[in-house]
Structures are given as structure tokens and as C-alpha cells.
Amino acid sequence: MKKIGLFFLLISGVVFAQESILDKRINSIIKDKKATIGISVLGFENGFKYHKNGEKRFPMQSVFKFHIAAAVLNAVDQGTLSLHQKILLKKSDLLENTWSPLRDKYLNGNIEIPLSEIIDYTVALSDNNGCDLLLRLIGGTQTVQKFMDSKGIKGFQIKYNEEAMHKDWKYQYENYSTPNSTTQLLKKFYDGKLLSKESTQYLMKVMLGTKTGLNKMIEQLPKNTPVARKTGSSGKNKEGLTGAENEIGIVTLPNGNHYSITLFVSNSTETDSVNCKIISDISKVIWDYFNK
């Protein structure tokens, strides 16, 4: 028994030392940065957990489009919506002065397109007009909040759509999540405890095809690493403050294992490139930890 106890003590010591090295590497990335940084990592198969400011509330920005898409797909699972049904895209839905590849494709609107296309643009391309159209279809942000509440998701709040956030800078802070909340949500999603099997597979495929934020989470990972992810960014206000530079994702390792990761950079006076580099560097350090 003494030998067994000593063995486990040695193993625990090795794990602690490795995690201490990880923490030092992350601290070296974020030291002296004029920003608040939230990190949360969860190993799916080994139960590994790591966080900094894990229970602090951060503005989500477009990360909330994952939550919105999940609520829409819940309506699909309930039979009130269908991925194949045609949705009228009105000219009035295509607001100007906002990020919208959907508007660029359908300049004049007044066309019916499948719900699946709106979801794809909203998640994979982070389309703001598509986002607000999805919210109108399901009854607004309160429907998303109720769905997340029903799934036991804590540390999450959504009150305002993209149009509202564009009108008032402070509204983004009312759409918040803790890093731990999002990381745990991604695990629940992966485990099929959020949506049906079909909807889970569909949204996972859409997220694997995300085209935004190429200089953030996946920048330093090996090419073609499967990462189902969602980005978010506020840009800067007149005072040069970045409200949010974010990314969340589910990473598949070469050995077939997975981890979820949340990286939030908030209230930063660093440049856009530095904010994105923070996310990129931390993502690489976490990847290296899991592949040691």
C-alpha cells in the first residue's frame, strides 16, 4: 500500500509540475498586457481543467451567435422550424454599416433562402444581419436565454441583438459569459446534451467551416487541425478601447481526443494585432500542453 501511495504521489507531483509550467508560459504571454484576459480549457477525455478569470463576466460579442444558433436548432428539433424551409430575406433586414456577407450576396433582398444558409452565414461568417434575422425567427434574445437556462448553463446572459450593440457601446457588456460557462457549454454540446444528434452534427460541421479569425485560435496550430469554433470582436471605440476580442472552440487532437477552449480579451488598449496574438499564442501553448 505504501508503494502504491508513493506512486500516486509521484504521478500527482508530475501533473502539478506540468500544470505549473503551463501556467508560467501563459503568464509570460499575458504579463504587461493592457487588457483583461479570460481563459478556460477543458479536456474532454482526461478531465483536465485550467482557467484564469474563469468565473469573470466577459462581453461575448459574436461568440453569442453559437448560443443563438443552438437555440434556433432547438426549434428545429422541436419541429417549429426546418433547416430546409425558405425564409424571406427582406431588404429591410439587410442593414448597412455592419458586417454582413449575406447583404453583399443579396444586395436587394426580397428573396427566399433556406434557414440553413442563414445559420451558415451567421456562424461560419459571423454575419450580423443573419444573426438578428435568426433572433426574430425564434422570438428574440429572451428565447435564447430561456433555452440556455433550461440546459443549466450558468454565467451567461443575452439581452441585446447586433443592431442594438451597434447603437450603444455599453450594450455589449450586457451580453456576457464567463469563460468557464462557455467551455462547459461546448462540452455539453459535444456530448449531445444540448441538441439532437442531427442538429449537433450539423452545427459542428458549420463551426468547423468558420472562416473568420484566421489570425487567432488556429493561426499557430498544425494545418488542417479540426477546430469547431466561433469568433467575436467589438473593434475599437473612439477612445481606442477594444471591448472584446474573443474565440471559443472544440479542438480535435492527433490522437482523437478533444478539448474545449475559451479565450476572451476585454477592455484592451492594445492594438488589434496584439489582441489577436494573445489568443494565438495562448492557443498554441494549450495545444503543446495536450501534445506533450
Enumerate the active-site residues: 62, 162
For residue 164, the Cα-to-chain-centroid distance in whole angstroms is: 20
CA distance 220 to 25: 16
List the beta bridge partners of residue 88: 112
CA distance 126 to 101: 9
CA distance 143 to 158: 10
Give the DSSP letter of residue 268. Answer: E
CA distance 132 to 262: 24
Strand ranges (E), 55-155: 58-59, 86-89, 111-114
State the cell numbers at 261: 477552449
